[in-house]
């Protein structure tokens, strides 16, 4: 079963059987951003550090950075959300994924929240 972890910046990261970790933004994040009209994704092969801006989403009104929840190397990006940015709104936690990372240190997921902890965190954000 896939394990999913969450960052305080509202990114999710799912550990796959292939050793790659899929990264996206949470449903809460897409709702807060509003209608997404453009996504900029990183080059494959780029090394990103935890907390580093690795993608940009543009809503009608504003641009927002997406931060890498863990450090790693970009192995794959989701071309579908570049062609159809609205997928991030309609499927933030599945079809609207952003990129896959080969993690530098898989054990670092322990620094992130699980679903229950993230839901609890959301409830503290009035």
Partner 1 sequence: MPVFAPPAADRLGVVLQKTPLDALHRRLGARMVEFAGYEMPLQYQGIIAEHQACRTSAALFDVSHMGQVEIADPAGLERLVPGDIAGLKPGRQRYTLLLNEAGGIIDDLMVANLGTRLQAVLNAGRKAVDVAHMRAHGLEVTTRFERALLAVQGPQAAEILPEAAGLKFMDAAPLDVAGIPCIVTRSGYTGEDGFEIGCAGEQGETLAGALLARGAVPAGLGARDSLRLEAGLCLYGNDITEQTSPVVAQLNFALSKKRLAAGNFMGAAAINQQLANGVETLLVGIRLEDRAPARAGAEIQHGRARVGEVTSGCFAPTLQAPIALGYVAAACAAPGTALQLIVRGKPLTGIVTALPFVPHNYVR
Give residues in contact with partner 1 (CB under 8 A).
34-35, 37-38, 40, 56, 58-63, 85
In the complex, what is the shortest distance from the CB of residue 62 to partner 1, in angstroms, rounded to a whole number? Answer: 7
Of 38 and 44, which CB lies nearer to partner 1 in the complex structure?
A: 38
Of 24 and 85, which CB lies nearer to partner 1 in the complex structure?
A: 85
In the complex, what is the shortest distance from the CB of residue 72 to partner 1, in angstroms, rounded to a whole number? Answer: 22
Of 21 and 87, which CB lies nearer to partner 1 in the complex structure?
A: 87
DSSP the chain: --EEEE-TTSEEEEE-TTS-EEEEE-HHHHHHH-SEEEEE-PPTT-EE-TT-EEEEEEESS-EEEEE-SS-EEEEEE-HHHHH-THHHHH-TTTTT--EEEEES-GGGGGGSB-HHHHHHHHHH--
In the complex, what is the shortest distance from the CB of residue 92 to partner 1, in angstroms, rounded to a whole number? Answer: 15
Measure Cα distances from 20 to 36, 44, 96 in Å.
26, 13, 17
Of 63 and 117, which CB lies nearer to partner 1 in the complex structure?
A: 63
In the complex, what is the shortest distance from the CB of residue 54 to partner 1, in angstroms, rounded to a whole number? Answer: 13
């Amino acid at each position: 079963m896939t394990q999913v972890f969450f960052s305080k910046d509202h990114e999710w990261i799912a550990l796959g059987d292939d050793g790659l970790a899929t990264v996206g933004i949470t449903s809460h994040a897409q709702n807060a951003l509003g209608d997404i009209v453009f996504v900029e994704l990183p080059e494959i092969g780029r090394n990103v550090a935890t907390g580093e801006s690795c993608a940009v989403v543009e809503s009608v009104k504003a641009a927002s950075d997406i931060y890498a929840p863990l450090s790693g190397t970009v192995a794959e990006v989701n071309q579908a959300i570049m062609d159809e940015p609205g997928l991030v709104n309609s499927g933030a936690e599945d079809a609207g994924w952003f990129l896959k990372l080969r993690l530098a240190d898989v054990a670092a997921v322990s620094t992130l929240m699980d679903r229950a902890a993230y839901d609890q965190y959301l409830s503290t954000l009035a």
